[in-house]
Amino acid sequence: MEEMLSLTSAALLAMGLFATLPPDAGATPPASDPAPLLAPLPALHPGERHVLLLMIDGLPVGPFEEALAAHELPNLERLFAERPTLRTRAVSTFPSATAPSVPELLCGRWVELDDLPAPGAVHAFDREDRRVVRYLTEPDTWNWPLPNLLKAASRSGLSAVTVFEGRWDGTGTILTTSAIARAAALEVLGAGEVGSGDRRPVEELLAHIRQEGVPQVSLVVFNEVDLKGHFHGPASPQVRRALAATDGLIGEIVETLRREKTPSGRSVLDETAIFLFGDHGMAPSGRFLDLADFFQKRDLITFDASTVTQVVLRERLGSLWTRWPDVILVSGGSNVTQVYLRSPSGGWLDGTEVVLGEARKAHRRPDVEELARDLAEHPGVSQVLRLVAPREVELRASDGRIARVIERGEGKSRRWAYVVPDGATADPLGYLAEPAVAALVSRHASLTEAGFFDVDTWLEKTRESRYPAAVPLVEKAFHPQRFTGDLTVTSRLGWTFLRGQQGDHGNLEREAMLTPLVVNGAGVLESNTLPGARLVDIYPTAAVLLGASLDDPGLAGLDGRVLPGVRPPQGGVATAVTR
C-alpha cells in the first residue's frame, strides 16, 4: 500500500491522507491587496486587449512537438495556423518544479538571484515552524510578496481569474485541488482513463465567463499531462492522450472567446494574446533511489516526507515528530531531494530554541562534506549540491568529479564562474566535454575575473547542453536557509526518489529544464521561431501586450525580457533583445 501511494503527493492527498484539503470554491471574489510592494508595478493600458495564459503542467518538449506534427492537437494546430505565432523552447528554473516556477514566471524573476526578500516556501521543511509545507494543501503560500502580472492587473483595474491550485490577492480564483485529488485517486485505483481531471475546472471557467464576461487576464493550468507523465512516463501513450484531451479543452475555451464580443463588437479572441507553456518538462524514470536506506545504514534516524507513514501518522503529532529524526528528506519534484540535517546545536535552525532533549542529538550530526562525497557515489545519484560559503556552491558527482559555482557582483552586475580542479578531465555537469561550453570553465589555480560570466552568457552557451542554465541557477536551491536543506541531491535519468514513478522533474536534466513556449494572436507581429527563451520572459512580454511601456519602471531590473516581435495595443513595437 505504501509503495503504491507514494507515487505523488497528489495521490496521497487523493486518498484523504493530508490533514485538510481546501474546498474548491468556484471563482471566488478577488481579495483586497493591502500588502506593501517590494518594487513598482507596470501601468497597464490594454484597451480591449486580453491575455490568456495556458499552462500545461509538466509539458515535455518532445511529446508535445511530436503530437503537434502528427495532427493530434487540431485545436492548437488551427490556432497556430490562423494567427501570428511565436514558438520557442524556454528554460524553466531550479528546482524544475511547479514551485517555484509558477510564482517566478508570473513575476519575471528568478527570485533568489535578486536582491529582494526571499518569499515563503511552497514545498519544503520549515525549520523554524517544524512542519512540512505542502503547497497542494496551502493555496495561499503561492501569494509571494513580489510584484507580478496578477497584481499589476489588479492595480490597473483589470479583471483577472486563475484556474490553479493556488491563489493570489486581487484575483478571482477557481481552485483545482479537488480535481487534482480525484484524478490522482483514479490513477492509484487503475482507472485513470475514465476522464480528464481538468474538465470540471474548465467548465467552471466557462460558466464564469458566461456570467461575468471574459477576464482581461486569465491563468488556466492543466494538470492531466503532468499526472500521466508521473504515472506512465513522458513518452507514454497516456501522455499523448492527455495532450489530446487538453487540446480539446483549449478548443472549448478558444471557441468561447471567439463567440464573446468586446465593447466595439469585435470577437474577444481577435483581441486576445494567448501564451501556451509548461512550468517545467518531464524526464523518464522508473528506478527507485532509496535515500532513506542510505542514511539509515549510517545509523541516522531518517524520515522521508513523501511516505504514507509520514503523512498519516507522524505529521498528526504537530511538530512533535521533529524531535526524533536526524535527517529529514523532502522531494521537491521527484528527481530532486533536499536533505535536512540538524544544526550544530541539535535543533533544526541556528538561533532558534532547541526542544528539550534535542541538544543530545547534536553529536549525531554527520560530517556534511563526507556525506556529500559518499552520496555522490551512490547508484542513481547525479549531483550533490552543497553551499560551502556565501555565494559558493559545491557540486559533486560520481568518480570523484567536483566543481564549484562562485558568484560575484550585485544586481545586474552579477557574474558566475564554474571552477574545476586543475588537471581534471571531467566535471559534474560534463561541460569540459562540450566544446561550446568548455571555454567558459575555469581552473582553480587560474581563476580570474575573466572567468565570471553573466546569466545570459551561461544560458546562451549551455542552451543545447545536457544541463542548460545550471551554473547561474544552482544557488537557488539554498535560499532562504529556513526552508532549504544542507544538501540538495539530484537523480540520474531513469531514477526517481518516489516509488512507482515513471516520469519526473525537479533536477537539472535537459528534459526537466526545458518546456515549449508559444505566444499567439493579438499583438504578435508575425509567425516566427525564436532560438530560446526563459519562462521568466512571460511576465514582461504579457505586460507589454497589455499596454505597458517598454521603459516602464515596473519592468526595469527583471530577469525576464520582452520577447521580440510583439506589439503593445497603442501600436508601438517591442524590439528584439540582444541575448
pLDDT at 352: 83
Per-position DSSP letters for 121-133, written without gaps between them: PSEEEETTTTEEE
Copy the grid coordinates of residue 83. Answer: 494567427
Report the distance separating Cα 211 and Cα 206, nearest Å: 9
pLDDT at 572: 55
Report the distance separating Cα 471 and Cα 454, nearest Å: 10
Quickly list H helices, 321-424.
368-376
Alpha carbons within 13 angstroms on the beta-carbon side of residue 555 total 24
Q: How far is CA 111 from the centre of its chain?
A: 12
Q: What is the pLDDT of residues 332-370, one digit of tens each?
A: 778 999 999 999 999 999 888 888 788 888 889 999 999
Sheet order of strands, 336-341 included: 302-304, 327-331, 336-341, 487-491, 381-389, 392-396, 402-408, 415-420, 441-443
3-state SS, residue 416: strand
Closest CA to 86 of 556, 542, 555, 550: 542
pLDDT at 178: 87
Are 259 and 491 in contact, with CB atoms under 8 Å apart?
no
pLDDT at 21: 46
What's the CATH architecture for 45-118+146-283+510-555? Answer: 3-Layer(aba) Sandwich (3.40)
Quickly list H helices, 160-282.
177-188, 199-212, 224-232, 237-259
Are 249 and 196 in contact, with CB atoms under 8 Å apart?
yes
pLDDT at 432: 97
Closest CA to 547 of 107, 148, 106, 50: 50
Report the distance separating Cα 123 and Cα 165, nearest Å: 13
> Which residues of the chain have a pLDDT value below 70?
1-38, 112-122, 136, 194, 571-579
- Domain limits, CATH 3.40.720.10, in the chain: 45-118+146-283+510-555
Residue type (1 letter), 160? A
Residue type (1 letter), 117? P
Q: Which residue has the cell 581534471?
A: 424
- CA-to-CA separations, 343 to 114, 352, 436, 481, in angstroms, rounded: 27, 10, 41, 11
Instruction: For the chain, give percent helix, strand, coil, nearest 5.
Output: 35, 20, 45
Report the distance separating Cα 282 and Cα 515, nearest Å: 9
Are 229 and 239 in contact, with CB atoms under 8 Å apart?
yes
Report the distance separating Cα 550 and Cα 576, nearest Å: 12
Report the distance separating Cα 45 and Cα 319, nearest Å: 48
Copy the grid coordinates of residue 163. Answer: 484556474
Are 497 and 331 in contact, with CB atoms under 8 Å apart?
yes
pLDDT at 26: 56
pLDDT at 7: 45
Closest CA to 475 of 391, 535, 403: 391
Q: What is the β-pairing status of strands 402-408 and 415-420? A: antiparallel
3-state SS, residue 304: strand
Are 451 and 445 in contact, with CB atoms under 8 Å apart?
no
In the chain, what is the straight-line distance between the N-terminal and C-terminal CA atoms, in Å?
Answer: 50
Are 537 and 297 in contact, with CB atoms under 8 Å apart?
no
Copy the grid coordinates of residue 423. Answer: 588537471
Residues ≥6 apart with Cβ < 8 Å to 483: 120, 121, 124, 125, 126, 127, 133
Residue 15: count other Cβ atoms within 10 Å of its Cβ.
18
